[in-house]
Chain A
Amino acid sequence: MTERGLADHPLAQLTLVRFREFIREPEALFWVFLFPIILAAGLGIAFRNRPPEALRVVTPSAELARSLRTEKRLDVRLESESAAAQELRTGKAVLEATPAGAGVAYHYDDTNPDGRTARMLADAAVQQAAGRVNPVRSRDALVREPGSRYIDFLVPGLLGMNLMGSAIWGMGFAIVDARRKKLMKRLVATPMPRRYYLMSFGLSRMVLLVLEVLVVLGFGALAFGVPVRGSLVVLGALCVLGSLSFSAIGLLIASRARTIEAASGLMNAVMMPMWVVSGVFFSSQRFPDVVQPIIKALPLTAAIDALRINMLQGGGLAQIAPQTAVLGFWMVAGFSAALKMFRWK
């Protein structure tokens, strides 16, 4: 009856609706874009690498203090005997050096690495002050490599967490809300092809994904110099695959639920364990060996491990093959189960 352009294709209209609903929801914008930045900034500052701190050493002997002060990595304090012993007991100092006849005695806790380090530094300083000559000359060449800091470990973890959260929440809430409001039933009462309805979620997800990844990685790179050592194409494909796997899980969660409460309970039950065990904030290797196969089979573990291999180790497709397989499995299994179970009315 009337001329219609590409923009009036049902898939285009449905996808536009997804965008409009997302952009007009300030909370969603906050959780997807601002929250990961705030989290990364907070944790990056809390765990930033400080210049090495001098180790505090106490001694009641002025002569020992003089010898020890030749070592710049020690913070040497001359104290009375009782004050020195008190500092050691309370952990303010990690080592106490006392004269013992012609020699010297070191008091420290050998289970404390700082204590052991102070012992070695102090002894070397005392021996050299007494005339020891080192037969081999040595010098320090310091290496502080981006990629091995906590923030480098954290950013791929946050990216993985963000991919999961936005896909599962974005899919789950929107679908269950449409079902609850009988909007889905109303759409089913039109000639709308049902596959377009589901595809519109995937399409809008892919576009928002680009923004999300750019925001998180861009912030990591600009604020902390977090590297991306692997191929950017592989990284992009990995994000798409991860997002699709999580979308499949989101769709599965939303396929039957009639209320937001039921859906959000399910979403939390699915996501919470993965936040803990999948290595967002600390390595998943810390869990016992018996549960490692299970942890590795989780989609978030696979996504984060693969992101770290790509970004930090510069690994290529071959290195991330196992993780890719895990994500692929969840994507296929999730979508097929969801489509079988989906409640349209």
Chain B
Amino acid sequence: MPDAAALRVRNLRKAYSDVVAVDGIDLEVHPAECFGLLGPNGAGKTTTIEICEGLTDADSGDVELLGLTWKRDAAELRQRLGIQLQETQLSDKLTVRETIRLFRSFFRRCAEVRDVIGRVQLEEKASSRVGSLSGGQKQRLALACALVGDPDFLFLDEPTTGLDPQARRQLWDLIDQFRASGRTILLTTHYMDEAERLCDRVAIMDHGKVIALGTPRELIASIGADHLLEISAAESAARLDSQVFIGIDSIRDVRIEDGVVRLMVTELHRAVPAVLDELSRRRIPLAELRTHSATLEDVFVTLTGRHLRDD
């Protein structure tokens, strides 16, 4: 199976009574790849991943996983997948060890409970009740339950949502280790830094459609500017309009939001002096100036005019 896709999704559609959640999606995930579905809440990521996991039926379209289909090979697929769902609450009254042992009993091929606990660094908590774990520890336990069947394909739905930065980095390291063992991962996230950090390739989703697909580097390059320049003019904000920046080379795009001007810039060292000159010529005092390298967030903003996260 080395040259076949680990996951192939064709023309997937799913509508609920009030909304079209998935609107004609095609995806191909290669073996040993970490593939990310990136998009804001409500983009259709969870519906897509749950259709792939065989938990939700699609209205139409095909899913082929590890060369198998849910219609014919559900029992075989269940044995070979590791799944972590969004917001599963494992039983608070069981200990970490008891929980992993329960999940382990369902799989033909399985890892030792002790090894799995070690892999997710919960050795000290092995005998603690699940109810006493922190958010990060619970999420690591959920990962352990997904790993205990020694899966060929791992599904992670929003693995680090709600975790503090340290717990997120810890979980990222664990996901990296799994990927290093040559297995395939499909994950969803609405954190652009998570997608950039973990994923070989990313599909950006919005309103049930894939609006961009590629490696994080390719996607960022696709907006044609490596840098972002943000300026604001406090009380003179009203005088800052896109007219001001016409004619400055190396500015690719201008957006104004709440008095903050976002300039997409190819060559920062030319753009910054030119912008400053233009502002002082027009006697517009500058309140703030910031620059950063372009991210997947900027790709999303460029494509949709909206941010990934509303908060």
Contact = CB atoms under 8 A, between A and B. Distances in A.
Interface of A: 1-2, 4, 8-10, 12-14, 16-17, 20-21, 24-25, 181-183, 185-186, 188-192, 345
A20 B98 contact: yes
B83 A189 contact: yes
B187 to A, nearest CB: 15
A2 B93 contact: no
B101 A191 contact: no
Contacts of A188: 55
B293 interface: no
B125 interface: no
B98 A12 contact: no
Contacts of A186: 83, 85, 88, 90, 145
Nearest to A178: B91
Contacts of A14: 102, 105
A183 B88 contact: yes
A186 B89 CA distance: 9
B78 interface: yes
B98 A1 contact: no
A25 B181 CA distance: 41
Interface stretch (B109-117, B198-206, B242-250): B109-117
8 contacts: A10-B105, A20-B94, A21-B91, A21-B94, A183-B91, A189-B83, A190-B107, A192-B106
B93 A8 contact: no
Contact of B102 (A13, A24, A181, A182): A13
Closest 8 CB pairs of A and B: A181-B89, A191-B78, A13-B105, A24-B93, A186-B88, A192-B106, A190-B106, A189-B83
B93 A20 contact: yes
Given A8-B101, A186-B90, A191-B107, 9 more contacts: A2-B110, A12-B105, A17-B91, A17-B102, A20-B98, A25-B93, A181-B88, A183-B88, A189-B78
B93 A21 contact: yes
A190 B85 contact: no
Contact of A9 (B55, B87, B105, B150): B105
B107 to A, nearest CB: 6
Contact of B89 (A12, A24, A183): A183
A2 B88 contact: no
Interface string B259-303: 000000000000000000000000000000000000000000000
A185 B106 contact: no
A191 B79 contact: yes
Given A1-B109, A1-B150, A10-B105, A189 B55 contact: yes
Contacts, number: 76
B276 to A, nearest CB: 54
Contact of A17 (B53, B94, B145): B94
A182 B98 contact: no
Contacts of B87: 182
Interface string B38-72: 00000000000000011110000000000000000
B13 to A, nearest CB: 19
B48 to A, nearest CB: 15
A191 B75 contact: yes
Contacts of B88: 181-183, 185-186
Given A1-B110, A9-B105, A17-B98, A190 B78 contact: yes
A25 B90 CA distance: 16
A190 B149 contact: yes
Contacts of A185: 55, 85, 88
Nearest to B87: A182
Contacts of B90: 183, 186
Nearest to B74: A191
B85 A189 contact: yes
A259 to B, nearest CB: 14
Contacts of A13: 101-102, 105
Contacts of B81: 189
Given A1-B150, A182-B85, A182-B87, A190 B109 contact: no
* A9, A24, A182, A191 interface centre (most CB from chain B within 10 Å): A191
A170 to B, nearest CB: 14
Contacts of B98: 16-17, 20
A24 B110 CA distance: 28
Contacts of B150: 1
Contacts of A25: 93
Contacts of B93: 20-21, 24-25
A2 B53 CA distance: 26
A13 B107 CA distance: 12
A2 B150 CA distance: 12
B55 A190 contact: no
Nearest to B103: A190
B30 interface: no
B190 interface: no
A4 B111 CA distance: 11
* B79, B106, B129 interface centre (most CB from chain A within 10 Å): B106
B258 to A, nearest CB: 38
Contacts of B106: 10, 190-192
A181 B94 CA distance: 15
